[in-house]
Amino acid sequence: MQVEWYGQSAFRLSEGRHTVFIDPFGDVSALASRGMRFEYPAIERVIADLLLVTHEHRDHNGVEAIGGSPQVIRSTAGTLESPIGQVRAIASEHDDFAGTQRGPNTIFVFELGGVRVCHFGDFGQAELRDRQREAIGGVDLLFVPVGGGPTIDAERAAAIVAQLAPRLTVPMHYRTPRLGFLDPADAFLERAGDVRRLDSSSFETSEHNGHVTIVPVAP
């Protein structure tokens, strides 16, 4: 399966005939008006079969950026049918105050090309609850926010990785040369074991074995 990072929490996952896109960003000019630098290139010429939106913030819900008339699953919970089979949408919160500050967040779990994927969106809880952990189940490929601020920080992210023990971990939602807020990924990577820094924004899951943390280049 090929994975491509578009910045922030936006990823394209492609395998065979199917493509899944998660958390595309759209027009984020409102961030600049608040003094927040967001300079990732616009998402263009991307076609998907399935589009997942973890929550309704503009740096995650730019559904208009994705072509191909995908099925859209957004900001919900349940076990849902899709072009790639069942998608498990697990309710969580964007903050540590039962969602009262930043609202709800969805953890998505699905299988593509024999790889069980889990994307945490803007998870902000102090810890993963037991029932959430049970609902997630086994994980091959984990996307987890690590930049603190409105989401979990490096320490909490590392605790989730330890709980889920994925084969591949990809940090997201952190400070890069194109993003002027959040914390950098360094503190999380210091807690990781085998860290592989790539020279590309994309990679093939089949090229990485063992329990590793993969760091694509920011687009």
**What is the C-alpha radius of gyration for the chain, rounded to an integer number of angstroms?**
16
pLDDT in tens, 80-92: 999 999 999 999 9
Tokens for 13, please give them: 């996952």
CATH number at residue 37: 3.60.15.10
- Region 203-209 average pLDDT: 95
Confidence of residue 27 (pLDDT cuts 50, 70, 90): confident
Q: What is the distance between the alpha carbons of residues 133 and 141, in angstroms, rounded to a whole number?
A: 15
Total domains present in the chain: 1
DSSP assignment of 28-79: -HHHHHTT--B-PPPP-SEE-SEEEESSS-TTT--GGGEES--EEEES--EE
Domain extent at residue 164: 2-215
pLDDT > 80? residue 32? no
Structure-token match 């605790």, residue found: 159
Q: Write down the pLDDT at residue 67.
A: 96
Q: What is the distance between the alpha carbons of residues 185 and 73, in angstroms, rounded to a whole number?
A: 28
- Region 121-140 average pLDDT: 97
* Distant-in-sequence, close-in-space partners of 39: CB < 8 Å, separation ≥ 6: 178, 179, 180
Q: Write down the pLDDT at residue 34.
A: 81
pLDDT in tens, 45-91: 999 999 999 999 989 999 999 999 999 999 999 999 999 999 999 99
- Region 156-170 average pLDDT: 98
Distance of CA 29 to CAs 23, 39, 175, Å? Answer: 17, 10, 18
